[in-house]
Amino acid sequence: MDPDQILVSVDGPEHLEMIKLVDLLGLKYQIHQPEGKLSPRISRHLRFALFRALKVLSVDKFIILEEDLILAPDFIM
């Protein structure tokens, strides 16, 4: 996997642990300034992440993962 092709979208600057981890791993990240209530906030962050991935990464397809998603062991294969 190429770290230059990974973009982490952080939902607000208050998630310092996530930002520190992403820095430690040497990955790119974007911080979304959250706005609104829970449901619209989630869709706004997802929209932000999609548009940023299309703009920042030089790829024609990508995978979106959530932090609470449990992946199968063979996910990357």
Tens of pLDDT, residues 21-72: 999 999 999 888 877 666 677 788 888 888 888 888 888 888 888 777 888 9
Tokens coding 31: 């911080």
DSSP β-ladder status, 7-11 and 28-32:
parallel
Reduced to 3 states, what is the DSSP secondary structure of residue 58?
coil
pTM of structure: 0.70
